[in-house]
Structure 1
Amino acid sequence: MKSQTKLTRLVLSAAIAATLASGAVMAQDTNAANQPPVPAPASQPVPPPPAPANAAQAKQLDQVVVTGNAANGGLKKIDTSYNITVANEEAIRLANPKSTADLLKISPGLWPESTGGQTGANIEIAGFPGGGDAPFNTVQMMGSPLYGFPTLSFFEQTSIFRLDDTVQRVEIIQGGPGVVFADGQMGASENFILKTGTDQPSGSIGVTYGNEGLWRADGFYGFKVADRWYGSIGGFYRKSDGVRDPQFAADKGGQLTATLSHDLENGTLTFWARALNDKNQFITPIPLIQDGTHNFRSYPGFDPLTDTYYSKDIQHVTLPGYPGGGTHADLADGRGAKVNFAGLNFDNDLGDGWSISDKFLVMGGDVDTNALFSGTNPASLDDKLYNLTSNFGGFGLPAGSATATYKNGAAVDPNQSVISQGWWYIHKHLRNMNNDFRISKELFEGNTLTAGLYVSKSWDDDKWNLGNNMLMTNTPNAKPITVSYVDGGVVKQLTDNQGFLDYGSFNITEQGRSTNKAFYLSDSWRVGPWLFDLSARTENQDATNKVCNLTNVNLDGNNNTLYDNAVPVCNGTYSKPHYDKTHTSYTGGANYEIAPNMSVYIRANKGYHFSDFDNGIRGQSPVDNFPPLQKLENFEGGFKYQSELFFLDMSVYHRLFSGLLFTPTDVNGTPLTGQQAVYGSDSKGVNIAAAVSPTKDFKVQVVAAYLDGKYSHYDACIPNTNLVTGQTTCTFINGVKLQRQPTFRYILTPSYHFPMSWGDITAQVSYTRVGPHTQDISGLQQLGTYHTFDFAIVANIQDHWQVRLQGTNITNELGLTESNSRIFGTAAGSDGVILARPLEGREINAQVKYLF
């Protein structure tokens, strides 16, 4: 691992050095905004160069988009009968995303929870009842999905993608034709298009410093290799203490991306590759005090904006329950990624109305999780040892029998607040290969038929050490606690010498193998101002998942060491369910161009969501008793308008889901199989993206969403334990609002452009308002509302220099995105203590960049 990190750093350093050297020789006295556009494949044409900040909005709908349609050369945004958001390189930077997932906030209706750090985000889509990870979101690079499933347990696709200066633009679609193209995602897909080289060599080198202890270097260089051959190379390296400092590097690593493209006589060929090696702290919920149902405040001793449980004292551990005889693990490895990608895009016009396109991707690497996961709510050491029942995390030891010490042997105060949390390690080795081939033929004027074949092969090799709990102080940068006690004159060890109360409850190995095959047809027909499209996709998912069966074992044979008396270990036998499902998805839309700057559309589609290795395919009893396919019926309509003064892109929708699956877990996070609930949902909403430009230099942008979404089709109730009374109750979910999705959310961004004699300055402030939202499908745990202020100031100095200052949550707002996901129902105890993920505190970054 260390040698790979050093190699990545050396390669990045060499690339940056080459960029600087080339820039010194080839720099031209031309403003970067006036450089020629980067060429792209015929099926992925580059829109016009990004307009300066004082340009009118009239060109917004003239942007050409390639995601979600089969048109040769793409479609203008005004002609698309679906919801799509496009952001160029500068728009991505101005959004000031804290992570790849956080960027999705620019698309109305997308709700990324970025409080967990750089990776492992929960991504909610308005009207799509997710509730964890990102089951209805796909990340594409150059039009190819990064992995065969959008999500697995402890993995979602933004975790293996990092933003940097090699990205030219992103196109984000929701619903609509996504059910047919690429991997058939019925939710949302974001397609990142990479920069390629140009005839005129150009590039940039930048250094960023952040108040959270961030140092980051970025570089990009695009160049001509030979006649009609072009290359590019770029990437970043960074190290950060994090807003929530864990006493080691919270984020550390880098990325390197290269492309080689060739202009053909009637098309393009692009090869690309990317290597990512990045380690990221996965932020754990911290304690807060809840007053009433919607108000939250800081817990004594914890700063909700900057504190974390992570520390050097719990950083390095030995995990005897890990499959194969145990292993060592390091919190600093976090929920990171060490993944390599390679791909190619080929597009060619064959003449006589024929054209072909092929997109290929191969990836492989490790996406591991080393992180803390919340257990029961904190309590005093004395209560934890003697007074609380097991429902509340108590141990029920004989009164006065225990001895509790820190690692250095010092005694722990009986009044010390303590907590037991999962220190989990999940090793995921992922591989994937997919290919999307299309051939199109213009049947007659205005009508084009496209046939496509998509094939994906996916592998997932896992080892899990899940459910183990460590006893630690309920303090920032926690310290582990060891406990022994005397029972009947015999000394018993409640914990090991690391503070572990057990060695896990779900220590499995997993070998998943999947083949996805899909054939699709799409026909588009332009009739005057009308553009109609009708598409269908027949898809088969054929998967197996070999998972070891477990037997409880006393690892050391000593009954007085309680932490390892019943450790589940692989017993040499396996469960191997075979999942083979086929479905057909449909979509149809009609767009009417009222005027060159105004259009209206309607669309209907039906899509399906397959089970994945960790959700639905594994752990079924009997082996092949799989849950039903999740089905979506979506109806939407939209209106688009542009003028020099005003821009509006608005859509309304009605979404019906069936086949949703809820699997409860115990306090250790172990899935309780056989207790699954299958239900549905009914959602209606409005998504709006708008802008007003009263003058050429002043602009106000709005991204807004309203959702009325409720669960349906489940008449039974779900049992849960009340944390205040300790009694088991039963909760009905019909009519309850969709979990974790705000009723409304909007971002209001005024900006002003100041022309100067030496260049220009653009300044903007973003006000975000998040409405009421809840934790889980019970709707019992409210998470309140909040608002934040972010800002950006960007100065372009003469021809080559750019300086930017950007900040997030500058007013240090306390806002929650989730509470303890392992507690169903109300998560606050009788003292009002709740474990939750609040927003990170103020973060301000400054960058100096040289462009050439």
Structure 2
Amino acid sequence: MNSKQLSRLTLSAAIAATLMTGVAYAQDDAQAPAQAQAATNHATAKKAGPNKKAQNLEQVVVTGVATNGGVRKIDASYSITTATAAQIQVANPRSAADLLKLSPGVWPESTGGQTGANIEIAGFPGGGDAPFYTNQIMGTPLYGMPSLSFFEQSSMFRLDDTVDHVEILQGGPSVVFGDGQIGLTSNYILKQGTDTPSGSLGVTYGTENLKRIDGFYGFKLAEGWYGSVGGFWRTSDGVRDPQYPSDKGGQLTATLTRDWDSGSLVLWARGLNDRNQFITPIPLIQTGSGQFSSYPGFDPLTDTYYSRAMQHVHLESYPGGGTDANLANGRGAKLAFFGGNYDWDFGNGWTLSDKFLVDGGNMDTNALFSGSNPQTLSSWENAGGTYPDGNVPAGAVYTASYTNGSGLVTDPNADVISQGWWHIHKNLKSAINDFRISKELFDGNTLTAGLYLAHYTDNDRWSLGNPMLMTNTPNATPIAVSYVQGGKTYYVTDAQGLIYNGGFNITENGEATNKAFYLSDSWKTGQWLLDASVRVENEDARNDVCNLSNVNIDGNAYTLYDNSVSMCNGTTTRTDYDKTHTSWTLGATYKLQDNMALYARANKGAHFNSFDDLRGSVTGDTPPLLKIQNFELGYKYELPQFSADVSFYHRQFDGLVYQPSSFGVPFGSKTTYGSDTKGIDFIVRASTPNQIFSVTWLGDWMDGHYSHFKGNVAFSGLDGIFYTNINGQQLQRQPKFQFRLTPMFRIPTAYGDLRLWATWEHVGDHTQDQTGLQELGSYNDFNIGAQYNYGPHWVFTLLGSNVTNALGLTESNSRIAGSAAGSTGVILARPLEGHEYNLQAKYQF
């Protein structure tokens, strides 16, 4: 979909919204305007502190519900987590992905920075990016596919004061509604204007030189009309300081609301321009199975390879003639959004709902990616360097020099490493509409029919590989190497330290349309609440990828770094994909009493292939449809000072695809397999009658393993290709047991309440990849918080993360399989960032 088509879709959506407004005006007929209940909730949430009536089962949720009015959490036949703006602040998330750990069994690996998180969900065999996660704003997915290479939907979203609350749903009825997500869905509800103008202005300073401004203002425009505007701007060096701003940018969001007695229209727009450091694994020493210590010269809590010396490069292998790239642009987003929600009650049991979202922009990646483990300069030279032929030249005399001009590298035992300097330009466009109409057939029974349409594109330009030789030190300096042989000078690297221009340099242009029709019936009879839903969905996609040929870029035989580089040769291969699948879900809640319920749910769903799944395939040989069947049994209980939601699940997958790859380059044939997981999710909350003390405990225990893996399959490890069978291995990057325990104290004072809290996070034993050969151990980290409400307007908040400087790993070198530790015990891995504190002063009015 080109920009002209996107503009037409945006205009069409705006016209449709205007027409709906006109229809509603015609039906208004001088009815007295009424403020929406949602707006009242927004105003209440803004004024509340972090202990504002902690999450409880009496709340009404709308995610995973067919009808407009939503359902009480205790009545829902599935487990759903909610958090107000104040409760989000208590969680002190490092990113939008990190917030998802409020849902039991969800483990976002946020050690990679603000964006690009791997989001793991217990029993969903992901292992990278976030294929089983959908991010929604106001009930509409942000993009037509959950995840692509170098993209997952949490990276399209930033948390700020425009968020009223979030609802996080795992599985259950989400296989039928929205985009049919079989895994995890987060739905962010925006604050809107209210009858009484209100807002806030906050200033934050953090120990990593964080400087941030947040603001929100909601107001009344006219009778029945409301508006709001808000956002943030910030800059930060980051805990791992790369010698330039690690995170820099901002976001602006506005809403326009029209309320009638019979319905409402909400239009919203958002602009996001933010760039973030994508944190590369650093070296550690493995001292035992799942046990690690710091590598000499590296602080595992604060150091990074990134530096000004390697910030700017020219990549000759980038498709179309090369490009200049800047590490400071990181892995960020430059996006525009325009969406709307229209809800109407026609009377006589008829209701209508329509949600749309049009968005687009760039989500580029400029980052280092791990290569081989560190070694001495002499061992690197004696191996012939890491250029394509790998031969050791006889009689070669090497010269190595720092690229910053500080002189020669004369110590043959100097520690060096090569890291891939990758640049990916990703342009995304998406237009989504979800229409549904409901009719109450008889008392307690409502039938809903819906139509979901999504059209989206992905236009990529990749330059992967580009290994850069550098000092194995924090804020590393690149090294340029040449040698003289037979009176001729051979350049092993270019002047920037790049050993090899390229590795996988492609163009990829994908376009897809999803069409889904769904029916849902909900029935309340006596103590039973029953629902049954079915969805028929078709994905029609195509993907064009350029074909590659090896070329000598500059035609010079003595510049070894670019003598044989795979480049687009002007031809492309197209893969077509057209699949239709039926998903369904059945749910039942039995009310033992008004505050106690048992629930059960069964569902079967599918995960359609993404553009990246199609790459390298040919029509008729595309990967099979990934399918899941999921069964849940749960118990909910609610008292003023106590609530609990405990569920048992059994999740089975079929159609998982494994593609061998070596440092990001695929090789060999694909194979399919499955997984089988049983587990328990729990959320328990308790408090004293006066709310002086409260505690929340949530977590997950799971037993998940791979199954139906046929024969031995190739994996690329430290010592080359090896073969193994992974049947029975623990699901990669998924802790067997994890929990988060948050006690909170409220101390009344003469001028306001002081609240103190801490969160203990335990992440149990987990492994790096499907082989299970690299244990990553377990860890415990602690976050703390304090908030003082001074008078009616001022709020002061102090937050601290990983205050005990726990050394915990989320992943090792994801470009190699099996054991990632060399013979000396050196391993490249991503540990938690060290302690970080920030203080915010906010004025509320």
Q: Report the TM-score range of the alignment, normalised by the length of the smaller protein.
A: over 0.9
| Conserved 8 A contact 1:386-1:399 | no
1:706 paired with 2:704, answer no
Alpha-carbon deviation of 1:101? Answer: 0.1
Report what 1:195 is aligned to.
191
Give the whole-Å Cα distance in 1 for the aligned partners of 2:325 and 2:402.
Answer: 20
Alpha-carbon deviation of 1:56? Answer: 6.8
Q: Which moved more, 1:400-409 or 1:740-749?
A: 400-409
| Conserved 8 A contact 2:506-2:546 | yes
Report what 1:688 is aligned to.
682
Q: 1:695 to 1:540 in 2, by over 3 A?
A: same
After superposition, residues 322-401 of structure 1 pair within 5 angstroms as 322-387=318-383, 396-398=392-394, 401=397
Report what 1:227 is aligned to.
223
Q: Secondary structure at the match of 2:267?
A: strand
Report what 1:300 is aligned to.
296
| Conserved 8 A contact 1:229-1:261 | yes
Q: Secondary structure at the match of 1:814?
A: coil
1:659 paired with 2:652, answer no
Give the whole-Å Cα distance in 1 for the aligned partners of 2:262 and 2:320.
Answer: 55
Q: Which moved more, 1:407-416 or 1:104-113?
A: 407-416
Q: Secondary structure at the match of 1:783?
A: strand
Alpha-carbon deviation of 1:851? Answer: 0.1
Letter in structure 2 aligned against 1:504? G
After superposition, residues 70-81 of structure 1 pair within 5 angstroms as 70-81=66-77
Q: 1:84 to 1:793 in 2, by over 3 A?
A: same
Q: 1:222 to 1:416 in 2, by over 3 A?
A: same
| Conserved 8 A contact 2:135-2:185 | yes
Give the whole-Å Cα distance in 2 for the aligned partners of 1:531 and 1:493.
Answer: 73
Q: Which moved more, 1:658-667 or 1:784-793?
A: 658-667
Letter in structure 2 aligned against 1:343? G
After superposition, residues 742-821 of structure 1 pair within 5 angstroms as 742-821=735-814
After superposition, residues 589-668 of structure 1 pair within 5 angstroms as 589-614=587-612, 616-620=613-617, 622-667=618-663
Q: Secondary structure at the match of 2:264?
A: strand
Please provide the CA RMSD for this pair.
2.0
Letter in structure 2 aligned against 1:568? S
Q: Secondary structure at the match of 2:478?
A: coil
TM-score by length of 2: 0.93
Alpha-carbon deviation of 1:559? Answer: 1.2
Q: Secondary structure at the match of 2:320?
A: coil
Give the whole-Å Cα distance in 2 for the aligned partners of 1:253 and 1:491.
Answer: 45
| Conserved 8 A contact 1:81-1:602 | yes
Give the whole-Å Cα distance in 1 for the aligned partners of 2:203 and 2:346.
Answer: 45
Equivalent of 2:528, from 527, 530, 539? 530
Give the whole-Å Cα distance in 1 for the aligned partners of 2:335 and 2:136.
Answer: 15
Q: Secondary structure at the match of 2:777?
A: coil
Give the whole-Å Cα distance in 2 for the aligned partners of 1:694 and 1:392.
Answer: 68
1:562 paired with 2:548, answer no
| Conserved 8 A contact 1:215-1:238 | yes
| Conserved 8 A contact 1:48-1:63 | no
Give the whole-Å Cα distance in 2 for the aligned partners of 1:733 and 1:591.
Answer: 38
Alpha-carbon deviation of 1:662? Answer: 1.6
Letter in structure 1 aligned against 2:750? S
| Conserved 8 A contact 2:787-2:798 | yes
Q: Secondary structure at the match of 1:792?
A: strand
1:312 paired with 2:271, answer no
Q: 1:492 to 1:37 in 2, by over 3 A?
A: farther
Give the whole-Å Cα distance in 1 for the aligned partners of 2:473 and 2:79.
Answer: 45
Give the whole-Å Cα distance in 1 for the aligned partners of 2:550 and 2:625.
Answer: 34
After superposition, residues 127-526 of structure 1 pair within 5 angstroms as 127-387=123-383, 396-398=392-394, 401-407=397-403, 408=405, 410-412=407-409, 413-526=411-524
Per-residue deviation, residues 103-132 of structure 1 (Å, max 9, x unmatched)? 001110111000000000000000000000
| Conserved 8 A contact 2:508-2:543 | yes
| Conserved 8 A contact 1:53-1:753 | no
Q: 1:710 to 1:64 in 2, by over 3 A?
A: same
Q: 1:704 to 1:37 in 2, by over 3 A?
A: farther
Letter in structure 1 aligned against 2:714? P
| Conserved 8 A contact 2:68-2:343 | no
Give the whole-Å Cα distance in 1 for the aligned partners of 2:346 and 2:596.
Answer: 33
Q: 1:819 to 1:37 in 2, by over 3 A?
A: farther
Q: 1:563 to 1:181 in 2, by over 3 A?
A: same
Alpha-carbon deviation of 1:39? Answer: 4.2
Q: Secondary structure at the match of 1:785?
A: strand
Letter in structure 1 aligned against 2:223? D
Letter in structure 2 aligned against 1:676? K
Give the whole-Å Cα distance in 2 for the aligned partners of 1:771 and 1:633.
Answer: 26
Alpha-carbon deviation of 1:489? Answer: 3.9
Per-residue deviation, residues 555-607 of structure 1 (Å, max 9, x unmatched)? 11111111111111211111011110110000000001111111110000000
Q: Secondary structure at the match of 1:67?
A: coil
Per-residue deviation, residues 132-173 of structure 1 (Å, max 9, x unmatched)? 000000000000000000000000000010000000000000
Q: Which moved more, 1:245-254 or 1:478-487?
A: 478-487
Q: Secondary structure at the match of 2:38?
A: coil
Q: Secondary structure at the match of 2:623?
A: coil
| Conserved 8 A contact 2:387-2:560 | no
| Conserved 8 A contact 1:529-1:594 | yes
Q: 1:581 to 1:817 in 2, by over 3 A?
A: same
1:114 paired with 2:110, answer yes
Give the whole-Å Cα distance in 2 for the aligned partners of 1:430 and 1:190.
Answer: 20
Give the whole-Å Cα distance in 1 for the aligned partners of 2:73 and 2:722.
Answer: 51
Per-residue deviation, residues 436-458 of structure 1 (Å, max 9, x unmatched)? 00000001111100000000000
| Conserved 8 A contact 1:41-1:345 | no
Per-residue deviation, residues 371-424 of structure 1 (Å, max 9, x unmatched)? 000011110111111058979997644466211111216111211111111100
Give the whole-Å Cα distance in 2 for the aligned partners of 1:166 and 1:38.
Answer: 17
Alpha-carbon deviation of 1:619? Answer: 1.3
Alpha-carbon deviation of 1:694? Answer: 3.8
Alpha-carbon deviation of 1:644? Answer: 2.9
Letter in structure 2 aligned against 1:689? I
| Conserved 8 A contact 2:35-2:259 | no
Alpha-carbon deviation of 1:40? Answer: 3.3
Give the whole-Å Cα distance in 1 for the aligned partners of 2:389 and 2:85.
Answer: 49
After superposition, residues 63-74 of structure 1 pair within 5 angstroms as 63-74=59-70
Identity among equivalent positions (%) equals: 59
Letter in structure 2 aligned against 1:69? V
Give the whole-Å Cα distance in 2 for the aligned partners of 1:41 and 1:803.
Answer: 25
| Conserved 8 A contact 1:598-1:641 | yes
Per-residue deviation, residues 475-503 of structure 1 (Å, max 9, x unmatched)? 10011111111334432111000011111
Per-residue deviation, residues 11-60 of structure 1 (Å, max 9, x unmatched)? xxxxxxxxxxxxxxxxxxxxxxxxx9974399x99999997667776x71
| Conserved 8 A contact 2:161-2:216 | yes
Letter in structure 1 aligned against 2:698? V
Give the whole-Å Cα distance in 2 for the aligned partners of 1:88 and 1:129.
Answer: 30
Give the whole-Å Cα distance in 2 for the aligned partners of 1:356 and 1:560.
Answer: 70
Q: 1:485 to 1:355 in 2, by over 3 A?
A: same
| Conserved 8 A contact 2:388-2:500 | no
Alpha-carbon deviation of 1:625? Answer: 1.2
| Conserved 8 A contact 1:40-1:268 | no
Report what 1:20 is aligned to.
none
Give the whole-Å Cα distance in 1 for the aligned partners of 2:92 and 2:389.
Answer: 40
After superposition, residues 69-108 of structure 1 pair within 5 angstroms as 69-108=65-104
Give the whole-Å Cα distance in 2 for the aligned partners of 1:678 and 1:487.
Answer: 50
Q: 1:391 to 1:293 in 2, by over 3 A?
A: farther
